[in-house]
């Protein structure tokens, strides 16, 4: 839809730049400046990249910029802990990557000159960001008039005008993004796929094998029939040592939660409050204002079709009279009261076109006056499409004569929806929304159905202060009785479930069952194994006491640190030795797979049309070692015993089916090279990060 496209444009077409580019511009600019940190000591050091400080104040400034942009785009006043953690992690990763890149481009002597930047903005082949911001969708080229008008407005702006700084940031971003492209081009130009690799890849995807196998599953040996020794753990650890490396420090802790849920008395008091609100709501003459003042969820009122309300309301509101009030009723963790504000029969969808007047720079009143003048011109015979092309700020719709297409109720913002769905075909309306002033032509209406506007006030079920105090007191008593050795015993005495947060990073925002866990995680990163929290943590209606179990340092983990983690695999290894002996005994003296099956008490399973590139045995998991061995075998020969993922195997290949000869090596090489190129851009930074010795101190800040 044109207006939906305009929403995206307003959020970022010229001034909102992609996170990667904006971060690069910010970091390169900051790193290039001389001087020390704002606080001028290590208390401001959030991390280190190759010995260079990554400063907290710079990180926080950029994080706030990205958070504000996300709030604008999502139209959310606050960020959930999960989203906030995601934005923080994205900001951190980008800053680290760009600091690393800055060092690399300096080593290579790469640069982007003023002429290159100017050419990206004003040249014959402008940067895609410029085309996106000022392009004509029909031609795919710069709208020269529009671009020149913008530059004239920019030149006339004051030195402290925010738009001037934003434009400068945008231009700097173009240059630094070009620098990034140059570096990655050097890497990608060194990548090459030869003909042999292309042929091997073609064979791996297309050569088929048919085989039969016999297997004895690890699960067939009960755990109580084996004994694990220290040597078993050590053997497994030594063989898989490279798997036990962590890129960052991890901590594991237990915790108990005292639940301060509303008591029966609390629920009764909230019900009484909801009953009073219901009476007041029924008498209210301004339902929208009543919702804004009294409801926890202040959603705007809008018309909805049957089936769009929760079931309790949907069954009554479409047959009720205007002003009907329902409730209080219990829904989730709230008492709710609903009131039928309006009910109308209207079209299911509208076909419309619009001209959008942007009030930026001229003010809302002048924008309205301009819209009224354009409306009169159209009513006097001027072409709507021509007026849209000339005046509309929604260029995506203007390129189609202002066409918004055909859309159902609810897809536009409520103030737009309410007016056009109560209009008639042929009406020309002026409507004001948060995007500006619209001149809207209702071209057609389709369908007809009843819609209702329902106002809902919710009263959350919350524990009273008396309930919270009582639960907090229990948690404090539990904490007072703890020492380093009795956490589990005290929890059992109080009949509390002990939960475990495993391998928690220093910047984790949540743990299992707890959405806002930053304070708990920050404590865990200051504690020593065996410590319990020095206070009761309060998050929502939970009062939590935690107990640190272990710390996994960054780098190679010790056997002791992963012993519990690898226990299932060690069990399989020990079981595998027993099963291998059994299957080897069956294999000795056998001339075919049927004899092996008979001797081992297993059955022969035939498998057809397996390819090397997809090493999954039907009905089982991926068996890389088994399928790899199959493709390296000769037909009609019994294999040796292979220890797989789920059991031990013996197989016999029936036949291979070779594909048609590869006739287009070039295309196969191009396909492989494209995949290699896509992987290289992330892998090059992973390699550089390993080399840069990145140190992360975020746990003490965020």
Range 250-261+463-556 has CATH code 3.10.50 = yes
Q: Over 503-537, what HEC string results?
A: EECCCCCCECCECCCHHHHHHHCCCCCCCECCCCE
The sheet carrying 403-408 orders its strands as: 403-408, 349-357, 436-446, 428-433
Q: Which tokens hold the place of 220?
A: 């067939």
The pLDDT of residue 137: 67
Residues 506/525, Cβ–Cβ less than 8 Å: yes
Cα 60 from Cα 149, distance rounded (Å): 35
What are 615-661's pLDDT values in tens digits? 999 999 899 999 999 999 999 999 999 999 999 999 999 999 999 99
Cα 214 from Cα 592, distance rounded (Å): 11
Q: Over 130-172, what HEC string results?
A: HHHHHEECCCCEECHHHHHHHHHHHHHCCCCCHHHHHHHHHHH
The model's pTM? 0.63
Beta strands in 386-435 (DSSP E): 403-408, 428-433
Q: Which tokens hold the place of 173?
A: 């971003």
Task: Give kind and range of the element (H or E) at residue 477.
Answer: helix 465-480
Confidence check: pLDDT of 702 > 90: no
The pLDDT of residue 474: 95
Q: Which tokens hold the place of 222?
A: 């009960």
What are 657-688's pLDDT values in tens digits? 999 999 889 999 998 988 888 888 778 888 88
**509: buried, middle or exposed (CB in 10 Å: 19+, 13-18, 0-12)?**
buried
The pLDDT of residue 138: 67
User: Over the Cα atoms of the chain, what is R_g?
Assistant: 34
At 75, the pLDDT band (50, 70, 90 cuts) reads low
Residues 438/431, Cβ–Cβ less than 8 Å: yes
Fold for 208-244+560-657, please state it: Chitinase A; domain 3 (3.10.50)
Residues 6 or more apart whose CB falls under 8 angstroms from that of 122 comprise none
The pLDDT of residue 10: 34
The pLDDT of residue 21: 38
How many Cβ atoms sit within 10 Å of the Cβ of residue 134? Answer: 23
Three-state DSSP class for residue 690: helix
Confidence check: pLDDT of 457 > 70: yes
Q: Which tokens hold the place of 66?
A: 């990205």
Residues 244/556, Cβ–Cβ less than 8 Å: yes
Report, as an integer, the average pLDDT of 549-566.
90
**What separation, in Å, do the N-terminal and C-terminal C-alpha atoms of the chain show?**
40
Fold for 264-345, please state it: Chitinase A; domain 3 (3.10.50)
- Arithmetic mean of pLDDT over the chain: 86
What are 327-339's pLDDT values in tens digits? 999 998 899 999 9
Report, as an integer, the average pLDDT of 16-44.
40
CATH code: domain 349-446 is 3.10.50.40
Return the DSSP state at 40.
S
Cα 26 from Cα 20, distance rounded (Å): 10
Confidence check: pLDDT of 597 > 90: yes
Length of the chain: 702
Q: Over 607-668, what HEC string results?
A: EEEEECCCCECCCCCECHHHHHHHHCCCCCCECCCEECCCEEEEEEEEEEECCCCCCCHHHH
At 537, the pLDDT band (50, 70, 90 cuts) reads very high
Alpha carbon of 449 to those of 138, 342, 417, 421, 678: distances in Å?
37, 14, 15, 12, 50
Report, as an integer, the average pLDDT of 504-513.
90
Buried b / exposed e over 673-699, threshold 16 CB at 10 Å, is beeeeeebeeebbeebbeebebbbbbb
The pLDDT of residue 157: 78
Return the percentage of the chain with pLDDT > 90, whole number: 50
Report, as an integer, the average pLDDT of 133-141.
74
Across 66-80, 177-191, 311-325, 385-399, least confident range: 66-80
**26: buried, middle or exposed (CB in 10 Å: 19+, 13-18, 0-12)?**
buried
Report, as an integer, the average pLDDT of 202-213.
96
Q: Rounded to 5 degrees, what angle do the CA atoms 427, 432, 433 make?
A: 120
Cα 193 from Cα 636, distance rounded (Å): 35
C-alpha closest to that of 360 among 6, 68, 70: 6
Residue ranges matching CATH 3.10.50.40 in the chain: 349-446
Q: Which tokens hold the place of 175?
A: 């240059």
Residues 566/236, Cβ–Cβ less than 8 Å: yes
């Amino acid at each position: 839809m044109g207006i939906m496209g305009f929403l995206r444009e307003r959020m970022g077409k010229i001034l909102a730049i992609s996170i990667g580019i904006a971060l690069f511009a910010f970091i390169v600019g900051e790193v290039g400046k001389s001087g020390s940190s704002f606080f001028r000591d290590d208390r401001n050091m959030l991390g280190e990249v190759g010995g260079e400080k990554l400063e907290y104040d710079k990180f926080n400034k950029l994080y706030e910029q990205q958070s504000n942009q996300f709030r604008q785009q999502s139209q959310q006043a606050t960020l959930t802990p999960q989203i906030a953690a995601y934005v923080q992690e994205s900001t951190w990763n980008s800053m680290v990557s760009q600091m690393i890149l800055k060092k690399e481009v300096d080593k290579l002597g790469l640069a982007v000159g003023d002429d290159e930047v100017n050419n990206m903005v004003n040249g014959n082949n402008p940067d895609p960001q410029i085309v996106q911001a000022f392009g004509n969708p029909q031609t795919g080229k710069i709208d020269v008039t529009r671009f020149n008008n913008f530059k004239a407005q920019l030149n006339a702006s004051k030195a402290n005008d925010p738009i001037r700084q934003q434009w400068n940031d945008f231009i700097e971003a173009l240059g630094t993004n070009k620098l990034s492209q140059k570096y990655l081009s050097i890497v990608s130009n060194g990548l090459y796929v030869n003909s042999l690799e292309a042929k091997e890849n073609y064979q791996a995807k297309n050569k088929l094998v048919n085989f039969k196998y016999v297997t004895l599953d690890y699960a067939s040996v009960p755990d109580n029939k084996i004994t694990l020794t220290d040597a078993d753990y050590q053997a497994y650890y030594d063989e898989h040592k490279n798997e036990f490396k962590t890129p960052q420090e991890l901590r594991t802790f237990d915790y108990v939660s005292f639940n301060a849920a509303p008591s029966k008395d609390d629920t009764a008091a909230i019900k009484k409050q909801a009953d009073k609100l219901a009476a007041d709501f029924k008498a209210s003459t301004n339902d929208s204002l009543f919702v804004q003042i009294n409801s926890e969820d202040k959603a705007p009122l809008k018309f909805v079709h049957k089936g769009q309300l929760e079931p309790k309301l949907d069954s009554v509101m479409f047959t009720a009279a205007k002003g009907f009030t329902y409730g209080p009723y219990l829904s989730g963790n709230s008492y709710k009261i609903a009131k039928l504000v309006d009910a109308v029969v209207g079209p299911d969808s509208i076909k419309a076109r619009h001209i959008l007047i942007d009030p930026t720079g001229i003010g809302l009143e002048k924008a309205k006056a301009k819209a009224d003048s354009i409306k009169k011109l159209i009513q006097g015979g001027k072409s709507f499409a021509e007026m849209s092309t000339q005046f509309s700020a929604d260029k995506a719709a203007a390129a189609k004569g202002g066409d918004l297409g055909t859309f159902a109720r609810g897809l536009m913002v409520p103030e737009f929806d309410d007016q056009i769905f109560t209009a008639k075909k042929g009406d020309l309306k002026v409507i004001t929304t948060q995007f500006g002033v619209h001149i809207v032509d209702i071209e057609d209406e389709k369908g007809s159905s009843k819609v209702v506007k329902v106002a809902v006030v919710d009263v959350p079920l919350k524990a009273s202060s008396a309930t919270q105090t009582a639960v907090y007191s229990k948690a404090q008593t539990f904490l007072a009785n703890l020492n380093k050795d009795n956490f589990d015993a005290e929890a059992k005495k109080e009949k509390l479930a002990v939960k475990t947060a495993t391998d928690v990073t220093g910047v984790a925002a949540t743990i299992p069952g707890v959405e806002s866990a930053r304070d708990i995680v920050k404590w865990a990163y200051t504690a020593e194994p065996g410590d319990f929290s020095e206070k009761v943590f309060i998050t929502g209606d939970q009062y939590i006491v935690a107990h640190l179990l272990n710390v996994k340092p960054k780098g190679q983990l010790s056997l002791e640190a992963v012993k519990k983690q690898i226990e299932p695999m060690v069990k399989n290894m020990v079981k595998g030795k027993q099963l291998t002996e059994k299957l080897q005994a069956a294999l000795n003296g056998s001339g075919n797979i049927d004899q092996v099956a008979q001797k081992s008490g297993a059955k022969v399973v035939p498998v057809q049309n397996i390819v090397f590139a997809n090493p999954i045995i039907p009905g089982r998991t991926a068996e890389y070692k088994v399928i790899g061995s199959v493709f390296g075998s000769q037909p009609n020969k019994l294999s040796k015993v292979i220890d797989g993922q789920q059991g031990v195997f013996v197989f016999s290949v029936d036949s291979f089916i070779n594909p048609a000869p590869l006739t287009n090596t070039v295309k196969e090489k191009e396909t492989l090279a494209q995949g290699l190129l896509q992987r290289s851009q992330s892998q090059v930074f992973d390699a550089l990060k390993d080399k840069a010795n990145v140190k992360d101190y975020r746990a003490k800040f965020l």
